[in-house]
Structure 1
Amino acid sequence: MDYEKLGLKVGLEIHQQLNTERKLFCHCPTILRDDEPDGEILRILRPTLSEVGEIDRAALLEARKGKKFLYQYYNDSTCLVELDEEPPHEPSEEALKIALEVALLMNMKPVDLAYVMRKIVIDGSNTSGFQRTIFLARDGYVETEDGKVRIESLCLEEDAARKVEEREGIVVYNLDRLGIPLVEISTAPDIKSPKMAKDVAKRIGEILRATGKVKRGIGTIRQDINISIKDGARVEIKGVSELNLIDKVVEYEVLRQVNLLKIRDELKSRGAYVIEEIYDVTDLFKECKSRIIKRAIERGGKVKAIILKKFSGLVGKEIQPGRRLGTEFSDRAKVIAGVGGIFHTDELPNYGITDEDVKKLRERLKAEEEDTIIIVADEEEKAIKALEAVIERAKEAIEGVPEETRRALDDGTTSYLRPLPGAARMYPETDIPPIYITEELINEIKSNLPELPEEKVERFIKEYKLSEELAKKMVLSYYVDLFEELCKEFKNIKPTLIAKTLEETLKEIRREGYNIENIKESHLRELFKALSEGKLAKEGIPEVLKGFCEMPEKEIDEILEIKGLKGLSREEVEKIIEEIIKENIEVVKEKKEKALGMLMGRAMAKLRGKADGKMVNEILRSKIKEFI
């Protein structure tokens, strides 16, 4: 697609957890738990008027769902702040400094006085019904190969509670994640293509990792993407967790908006409109073979229907891969009313609904072939609520592209989440005084700014003699700081071997199915210490790492013993090599030095992990000369 002609504008909001000792507004640790919680509390959240006397439309929608929220807590790692039973404590100074460091690395201007704001969120992800956020810096930029992209703002805020499961009418959250500090970085809508969106996110991610003070792993960084095209609308897509998905999400959203505009034009040319009356057609479906409809009626539910005049053929039209306009209608019904889905005549007969069923339905409603009928079978209140949502979405289809917040799916497509929030969601936090950002603090941070990734790559090539490719991998690695520490501690080990172990060997054994999450930094230090002291040959590194994956509680000496990798002395290696030469003496006498390759293979089969390959080669060459 010609993105310039389409007037594509993209802005990113990047949320990154900070690796601090305590949470943002209390002194609880920033750890996630997988053990049983100590207790749980049940809450219902309701929207309130903002400072301007309005209720935010996104909050209002959440309240209408009527859900209850169950919060799991721990006595030793969550407190009354997370439970909203105690006012917040002073913000974490450590988190504040990290956030300001990130801001300065992106050429931003910190504020002099920072105010804590409340952002209304009543989807249950925060016990208080709002998220606390601190606006810290503005007017920065990052450089990309497509030019500068402005960074409009950087905020320091608390992460949300972790969703565990959803039961009938109850959403269960764990409070371990609630309050972990994160930075929210918002770009201007300067991004003009899907590839540029991915490149900008990658660049910001590199700057964040350069600090060495952000958390790593799945769920620690999340990207929200704001996308619009000419004649379309601004749509916010939440929760893109994979960098490699960003360009596809942008591409698919542009495709969706282009197709919705084509549908709009077709609907207008037909003179399409929506009849707002909801009809009860339960009696027509009493003998219907559809299991969904049969089950709904047996449970005392109703079958309700609406007519979309002159929509025929367009509700079933694909707008994203595998998603149609009818999917958009279904999303609204599911989110707002909690029904399982909808039926529409563009896809019938199907699902046990016959031609005869459709014919009777059209006759009852006096609907023409050019009309689309939408059907919902569920509890009467839910069915009506679902069809009211479909009516609203169908009206929006006639107008074009609705502004809304959508959820990113694993394949790059999106689904409806809620209306786009408005300004009515923000108001001041009354429990925390303003924070003074002094010139002395900024100067202190400026004097200790870390290297940017490209500077570190250049240094790694010069100082550690890494290849450019390996240097780039290492700079972006979770283990970058450990790499430098190990290089300084074990000067007799080549930095290239340390880097390849951390960046390549670990990934190789993970692909083999080993759980490398069991490997701690202490294990890696033990590994390289054993290597440095000659207890282990470099060929044994993969097996030792596998041993730590399987038996993380064991010491390295135990792993070496179990794996049969205890290093041999030179005398022991010489003895084994002499035996190998004697076993193959005829070949040695015939081929002389040319037998080295064959002998080396047989020697390493016996000595791999127990002796250094270089030493084995050296001894072999010497011993061959003795025997010939």
Structure 2
Amino acid sequence: MAFETIIGLEIHVELATKSKIFCSCSTEFGKEPNENTCPICTGLPGTLPVLNEEVVNLAIKAGKALDCEINMINKFDRKNYFYPDLPKAYQISQFDLPICTKGYVDIQLDGVDKRINLTRIHLEEDAGKLIHLEDEPITLVDYNRAGVPLIEIVSEPDMRSPKEAVEFLKTLKGILEYAEVSDCKMEQGSLRCDANISIREVGQESFNTKVEIKNMNSFREILRALQKEEKRQTELYTFGEGHKIKQETRKWDSKKGRTVPMRSKEDAHDYRYFPEPDLVPIVIEKEKIEEIKKNLPELPSKKKERFLQEYKLTEKEIDILIGSKILANYFEEVLSFGANAKDAANWILVDLLRALKDENETIPVKSRYLADLIKIIDEGKISRTAGKEVFKELIATDKNPDKIIEEKGLSQISETDTIEKIIVEILSKNPQAVEDFKNGKKQAVGFLMGQTMKVSKGKVNPKLAKEILENKLRAL
């Protein structure tokens, strides 16, 4: 039997606001436990929520960036369940009237284009965080995250492989970053996803039992988890034990390399929704939607088109550059100081990326300094080899390229008389190579150039040195 995989994703995205969704507490990451809290976000009796308008604006922005329809009247609901990280015993979310519906994300995988459709985007507040201590009979609760504004993006079950799912998530992350909806720092939980996965025979139209894998925040681990669950389900169907697949929630155990059950359908929370009585419906004016759409930043697909037209780079080079908003902006900053696009791309994609450990890391070399270094090399003032040494120093210090070149004595020798003296000495010490050249062996030039660079410690202008060397050899 041949099987196909069906995957749909539910992605939680923290919105880039300075304060929480219903109170004025800070959303800053990394503060001391329970520092960013107040009576409202800790659910104390008698408190009332007040909606942060910027949350609505960012949700609309996300919707327009993803070609969604914006529901001009939408509302909040109470999603009731008890859990220690939910101090009110309910979560304020959106149920039957979400802020956005439909929409899509276009992806490309192995040269094939595909559209992944979206079902909806809704607003909600985040819950707190539980810290389970090993070998201790207690669990700690940090409510700093409680009340942080989220959008939940729900896809249609349009993905047919774990790789497609990861590509969809990468593309979505890029759109949200460029739209300035969220910082999407997965390691901080700003973007995390639940995956629904099932298997069916090729040609079958109906869906089989699905399994949900909860709370993943790494592309690598999402890929591994989906591949392992895909394998598990395929094996069960192959051996006639498809009935053993239960509709359940599982979690990914990265150490053991497998998904493990959390709760079955029978144990699952039976969420009870009803309209949030303390918040009026959200009424959005058409003018606001048009204004937000008009002011959308340049998104990855448009940036790629422009880079292809303006900079004549390869598609692979452009994909890497625009894969990180920080990197793409840095590249254009370097160009704004007069650097050549191809040279700038080479330095960023090879030397800079080697130095960066994290794509979200602050770039350690000022864009102006990299542009200056590229121009210095183009003008023949130093060699490319010396340029690499300067670049390393630019990462380690705040000195400009000229200062580093002066201190390290890296200036390239471009005086014709000086180069001629070096070459005359090389020719006199290597008579066999000269004889080889006379006998038609062209590789002799390469050997003699190597000796020239060695004697000059790489400081001579290689283009000028080769020209002088070849003239001298022809004159013999």
- Length-normalised TM-score, structure 2: 0.73
- 1:405 counterpart = 2:249: yes
Q: Which amino acid aligns with 1:91?
A: N
Show the 5 A alignment for 1:32-431: 32-33=29-30, 37=32, 72-74=33-35, 81-84=40-43, 87-93=48-54, 95-120=55-80, 122-134=82-94, 135-143=98-106, 145=112, 148-162=115-129, 165-167=132-134, 168-219=136-187, 220-229=190-199, 233-246=209-222, 248-257=224-233, 400-410=244-254, 413-420=258-265, 421-431=268-278
Q: Which amino acid aligns with 2:367?
A: R
Look up the SS of the partner of 2:28 in the other structure: coil
Look up the SS of the partner of 2:67 in the other structure: coil
Identify if the C-alpha distance between structure 1 residues 618 and 152 changes in structure 2 by more than 3 Å, giving closer, same or farther.
Answer: same
Cα distance between partner residues in 1 of 2:90 and 2:456: 64
- Length-normalised TM-score, structure 1: 0.58
Identify if the C-alpha distance between structure 1 residues 482 and 627 changes in structure 2 by more than 3 Å, giving closer, same or farther.
Answer: same
RMSD between superposed Cα atoms in Å: 4.4
Residue pair 1:212, 1:481 contacting (<8 A) in 2 also: no
Quote the offset at 1:225 in angstroms.
1.0
Quote the offset at 1:12 in angstroms.
1.2
Q: Select 1:555's aligned residue among 392, 398, 410.
A: 398
Residue pair 1:580, 1:599 contacting (<8 A) in 2 also: no
Which structure: larger Rg?
1
Identify if the C-alpha distance between structure 1 residues 501 and 182 changes in structure 2 by more than 3 Å, giving closer, same or farther.
Answer: farther
Q: Select 1:489's aligned residue among 336, 345, 349.
A: 336
Identify if the C-alpha distance between structure 1 residues 148 and 96 changes in structure 2 by more than 3 Å, giving closer, same or farther.
Answer: same
Quote the offset at 1:100 in angstroms.
1.8
Residue pair 2:25, 2:38 contacting (<8 A) in 1 also: yes
Cα deviations by residue, 1:161-190 (Å, 9 ceiling, x for unpaired): 455552523233545555444432101233
Residue pair 2:191, 2:217 contacting (<8 A) in 1 also: yes
Q: Select 2:344's aligned residue among 498, 504, 508.
A: 498
Look up the SS of the partner of 1:441 in the other structure: helix
Quote the offset at 1:595 in angstroms.
4.1
2:308 corresponding residue in structure 1: 461
Identify if the C-alpha distance between structure 1 residues 210 and 600 changes in structure 2 by more than 3 Å, giving closer, same or farther.
Answer: farther
Quote the offset at 1:465 in angstroms.
1.8
Show the 5 A alignment for 1:534-545: 534=376, 539=385
Cα deviations by residue, 1:603-625 (Å, 9 ceiling, x for unpaired): 489777xx7xxx82234236547
Residue pair 1:117, 1:427 contacting (<8 A) in 2 also: yes
2:354 corresponding residue in structure 1: 508
1:520 corresponding residue in structure 2: 362
Quote the offset at 1:469 in angstroms.
1.0
Cα deviations by residue, 1:522-544 (Å, 9 ceiling, x for unpaired): 74335325426749876566656
Residue pair 1:490, 1:532 contacting (<8 A) in 2 also: no
Look up the SS of the partner of 2:103 in the other structure: strand
Identity of aligned residues (%): 26
2:324 corresponding residue in structure 1: 477
Cα distance between partner residues in 1 of 2:211 and 2:264: 9
- 1:2 counterpart = 2:2: yes
Residue pair 2:390, 2:405 contacting (<8 A) in 1 also: no
Show the 5 A alignment for 1:428-467: 428-467=275-314
Q: Select 2:28's aligned residue among 26, 31, 36.
A: 31
Residue pair 1:527, 1:544 contacting (<8 A) in 2 also: no
Quote the offset at 1:438 in angstroms.
1.3
Residue pair 2:423, 2:452 contacting (<8 A) in 1 also: no
Gaps of 5+ in 2: 201-206
Cα distance between partner residues in 1 of 2:353 and 2:131: 29
How many equivalent pairs are there? Answer: 440
Residue pair 2:21, 2:125 contacting (<8 A) in 1 also: yes
2:203 corresponding residue in structure 1: none
Quote the offset at 1:210 in angstroms.
4.1
Quote the offset at 1:463 in angstroms.
0.5
Q: Which amino acid aligns with 1:407?
A: K
Cα distance between partner residues in 2 of 1:576 and 1:176: 68
Identify if the C-alpha distance between structure 1 residues 260 and 537 changes in structure 2 by more than 3 Å, giving closer, same or farther.
Answer: same
Identify if the C-alpha distance between structure 1 residues 547 and 169 changes in structure 2 by more than 3 Å, giving closer, same or farther.
Answer: farther
Identify if the C-alpha distance between structure 1 residues 227 and 23 changes in structure 2 by more than 3 Å, giving closer, same or farther.
Answer: same
